[in-house]
C-alpha cells in the first residue's frame, strides 16, 4: 500500500498537470476562432481563383503555355514542401503527417524536400537527407509574407528544371475532431477536375497577358492556404488533445484521492485496534 505522503505528492503532481493542460487548452481555443475564420474565408477565394485560372488556360494555345504548366522530362527528382507545427502536444497530427510522408517517399525515391516547422524537420530526418531549406512555422497566424521565400525556391528548382514535380504535404482541416494529412500536386499546374462556369467570360487585357501573373498568384495562394489549413489543424488538434489530457488528469486525481482516503482510514483503524489491544492486555 502506498504511503500517505507519496499519495499526497502524486495528487499534487496530477493537479499541477491538470492546470497546465487546461491553460494550454484555453490558449489553443482562443487561437482557434481566428484561425478558423482565416482558413475558411480563404477557401472560396482560392476556389474562384482556380476556376478563373482554369478558364483562362483553356484559351491559350499549347505553344504559348505558361512555364508553370509545362512538364519537365529531363529529371525524375521531385520536390516536396512539408508543413508541420513547431511544437508537439497536438494528438496524432504529427504522427499522421509522418505516416503520410513515409508512404509517399516509398513510392517516390528521388525526393528532396523543404521543411516548414521544426516537427517537419523531425519527420524528414527519419529517412535521412538534408532539406534544401528549413523554415520555422511559428506560433501565430501565418502571414502572406511567409510564402515568398518558398516560392523563390520553387521557381529555382522547377523553372530551372531541377525537379519534375512539386508537392505540398500538410494537414487539411475537416472539423475540430478530424485533420487529414493531404498531399497536393502543386506543379506542373493542372486543372482537370475544375468545374467550368456556364457563362462566357471576357478577359481584358488578353488571356496571354493575364495568365503569367494569374498563375503566379494562384500558386502563392495555394501555398498560403496550405499554411492556414496547417495552423488551423494544429490549434484544433492541440485543443482536443489538451482537453483529453485534462479529463484524464482529473480522473487520476479522483482515483488517487479515493486511494488516499482508504489508506488513511486503514491507518486510523489499525491505530484504534492497537489502542484497544493494549487496553485489553492491561485489563
Provide, for the chain, the percentages of residues in helix, strand and coil under a 3-state DSSP scheme, each rounded to the nearest 5: 60, 15, 25
> Is the confidence at residue 63, as pLDDT, over 90?
no
For 194-228, the pLDDT digits (tens) are: 555 555 666 666 667 778 888 899 999 999 999 99
Which helix or strand (DSSP H or E) is residue 55 part of? helix 4-57
For residues 246 and 190, the model is more confident at 246
At residue 243 the predicted structure's pLDDT band, cuts being 50, 70 and 90, is very high
> Is the confidence at residue 2, as pLDDT, over 60?
no
Task: Take residue 69 and report the three cell numbers written for it.
Answer: 504548366
* pLDDT attached to residue 201: 65
* pLDDT attached to residue 230: 93
C-alpha span between 49 and 45 (Å, rounded): 6
C-alpha gyration radius of the chain: 28
pTM for this predicted structure: 0.84
- Give the contacts of 190 (CB within 8 A, at least 6 positions apart): 69
Of the candidates 265, 270, 271, 263, which has an alpha carbon nearest to the alpha carbon of residue 2?
263
- The mean per-residue pLDDT over the stretch 92-112 comes to 89
Return mean pLDDT, the chain.
86
Sheet holding 165-175, edge to edge: 133-135, 111-116, 78-83, 165-175, 178-187
For 41-51, the pLDDT digits (tens) are: 998 988 888 88
* pLDDT attached to residue 279: 67
Amino acid at each position: 500500500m502506498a504511503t500517505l505522503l507519496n499519495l499526497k505528492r502524486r495528487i499534487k503532481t496530477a493537479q499541477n498537470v491538470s492546470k497546465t493542460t487546461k491553460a494550454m487548452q484555453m490558449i489553443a481555443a482562443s487561437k482557434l476562432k481566428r484561425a478558423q475564420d482565416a482558413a475558411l474565408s480563404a477557401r472560396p477565394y482560392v476556389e474562384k481563383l482556380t476556376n478563373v485560372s482554369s478558364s483562362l488556360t483553356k484559351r491559350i494555345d499549347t505553344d504559348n503555355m505558361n512555364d508553370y504548366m509545362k512538364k519537365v522530362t529531363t529529371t525524375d527528382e521531385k520536390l516536396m514542401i512539408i508543413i508541420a507545427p513547431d511544437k508537439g502536444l497536438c494528438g496524432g497530427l504529427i504522427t499522421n503527417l509522418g505516416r503520410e510522408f513515409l508512404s509517399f517517399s516509398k513510392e517516390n525515391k528521388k525526393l528532396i524536400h523543404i521543411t516548414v516547422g521544426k516537427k517537419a524537420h523531425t519527420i524528414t530526418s527519419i529517412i535521412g537527407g538534408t532539406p534544401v531549406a528549413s523554415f520555422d512555422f511559428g506560433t501565430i497566424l501565418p502571414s502572406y509574407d511567409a510564402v515568398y521565400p518558398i516560392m523563390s525556391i520553387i521557381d529555382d528548382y522547377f523553372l530551372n528544371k531541377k525537379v519534375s514535380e512539386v508537392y505540398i504535404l500538410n494537414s487539411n482541416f475537416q472539423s475540430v475532431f478530424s485533420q487529414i494529412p493531404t498531399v497536393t500536386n502543386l506543379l506542373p499546374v493542372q486543372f482537370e477536375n475544375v468545374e467550368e462556369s456556364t457563362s462566357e467570360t471576357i478577359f481584358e487585357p488578353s488571356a496571354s497577358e493575364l495568365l503569367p501573373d494569374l498563375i503566379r498568384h494562384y500558386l502563392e495562394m495555394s501555398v498560403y492556404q496550405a499554411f492556414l489549413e496547417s495552423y488551423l489543424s494544429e490549434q484544433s488538434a492541440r485543443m482536443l488533445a489538451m482537453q483529453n489530457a485534462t479529463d484524464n488528469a482529473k480522473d487520476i486525481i479522483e482515483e488517487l484521492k479515493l486511494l488516499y482516503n482508504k489508506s488513511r482510514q486503514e491507518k486510523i483503524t489499525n491505530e484504534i485496534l492497537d489502542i484497544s489491544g493494549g487496553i485489553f492486555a492491561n485489563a
